[in-house]
Amino acid sequence: MTWLTLEVFDRRFSAPESGSFRVKVAEFPDGSPISMNLRFAVGAHDGPRVAMLGVQHGDEYSGMEISNRIMDAIDPRELSGSVIAVPVANPLAFNAGERASPPPMGYENLNMNRVWPGDPKGLLMEQIAAVLWEQVIRDSNIVIDLHEGGRAFMARYLHARGTPETERLVGPQNKRLYLLFGQGVPVLGGTSTRPSMMGSLSIQAGLVGIPTLSPELGGGGRLWEDLVRVGVQGIRNVMIGFGMINDEPVGSNSQQLVSDGSSWPKTGHGGILYNTCELGAVVEKGERLGILKDVSGKVIEELYAPYKSVIFDTRYQPTVYPGDWTYHCGKLMQ
């Protein structure tokens, strides 16, 4: 692989070079641009091209911080390959502080991570995704799609789940990515993907042969320094493993629990949820995860693990409606 130049958005960058630029990806009704900032580094040596995306969901901030720290640390004179980062991939949702773009900004209020690879003649979010797919994703060798729990949840796991077809095409490469990331961060793998997830970036990239890792680190509507550091080190570990940077990996020998399925116990009532489990904990089948109380403090429901699980997400926002997600339980073998 030779990436001594990088061509993106009608720009050409030559090694060794790094920087940033802003591009228009759509426009508002008054004609002013909807734009986003991109960062790049073109290494002086041959190597893979890595694409990093943060903030597909507008209330998930860690991906922005992680990708910026990665780019800040890259010396293109020492880099093998190239990296292109989109710290905020969904500026509409980001500026609104919402998971998806708000209803006035595009019919159907589409979730960006359900419309890949986009459609240049589709709805607003489909058009934005199509631009990023064409310019950033399609010619990359590795995709890092950074997520977290948003305002309502706290997350700490690696999403490497796909379909039978993506498993055939990139399954071993995806496994290599999460093993390199390491640090004991548990993994959601397997191939039983819901139909609603077929438009996710990881699946669509996998279907065209691009291995993708989706770290889920953080949540609660704020940045968590310890989880940002995990994300930065994990991506550096991947880059070290692919020979892109010279350094020693951290946490490569830590045990990683791998689940091939997961589920979310849901509430039967509205109320206030009190967690009795910890993020990353291993719990047994039937173990209590949380207590639901009404506003007078009366216990009205308890939530239990459906099987032996590692806890991928915990609830951060305590108020819930009937049917709300509570705890993300990654199934473990008995």
pLDDT at residue 44 tops 80? yes
pLDDT at residue 57 tops 70? yes
pLDDT at residue 109 tops 90? no
Asked whether the beta carbons of 169 and 206 are under 8 A apart, the reply is yes
Q: What is the pLDDT of residue 29?
A: 92
Q: What is the pLDDT of residue 334?
A: 62
Q: What is the pLDDT of residue 108?
A: 67
Mean pLDDT of the chain: 95
Please name which of 300, 301, 181 lies closest in space to residue 289, comparing C-alpha atoms. Answer: 301
Q: 225-241 vs 62-73: helix axis angle to the nearest 10?
A: 50
Q: Is 239 strand, coil or helix?
A: helix
Please name which of 127, 218, 210, 214 lies closest in space to residue 173, comparing C-alpha atoms. Answer: 210
Asked whether the beta carbons of 183 and 255 are under 8 A apart, the reply is no
CA–CA dist 113, 179 (Å, integer): 24
Task: Report the share of the chain in percent with pLDDT over 90.
Answer: 93
In the chain, % helix, strand, coil (3-state, to 5) comes to 25, 30, 45
Q: Is 142 strand, coil or helix?
A: strand
pLDDT tens for 147-188 read: 999 999 999 999 999 999 999 999 999 999 999 999 999 999
pLDDT tens for 5-35 read: 999 999 999 999 999 999 999 999 999 999 9
Q: What is the pLDDT of residue 333?
A: 81
Taking residues 110-135, report their average pLDDT: 96
Asked whether the beta carbons of 68 and 39 are under 8 A apart, the reply is yes
Asked whether the beta carbons of 149 and 219 are under 8 A apart, the reply is yes
For the four alpha carbons of 133, 136, 138 and 144, in that order, the dihedral sign comes to negative
pLDDT tens for 70-88 read: 999 999 999 999 999 999 9
CA–CA dist 240, 46 (Å, integer): 14
Q: What is the pLDDT of residue 131?
A: 98
CA angle 313, 318, 320 (to 5 degrees): 95
CA–CA dist 146, 251 (Å, integer): 19
CA–CA dist 218, 314 (Å, integer): 10
CA–CA dist 91, 62 (Å, integer): 15
Bridge partner residues of 292 (DSSP): 273, 301
pLDDT tens for 170-181 read: 999 999 999 999
First to last CA, the chain: 43
pLDDT tens for 293-325 read: 999 999 999 999 999 999 999 999 999 999 999
CA–CA dist 162, 106 (Å, integer): 29
Task: Kindly indicate the confidence band of residue 104, based on its pLDDT and cuts at 50, 70 and 90.
Answer: low
Taking residues 226-255, report their average pLDDT: 96
Asked whether the beta carbons of 318 and 296 are under 8 A apart, the reply is no
Domains and CATH numbers, the chain: 5-241 (3.40.630.10), 261-331 (2.40.50.100)
Q: What is the pTM of this model?
A: 0.95
Q: How far is CA 56 from the centre of its chain?
A: 8
Task: Report the share of the chain in percent with pLDDT over 70.
Answer: 97
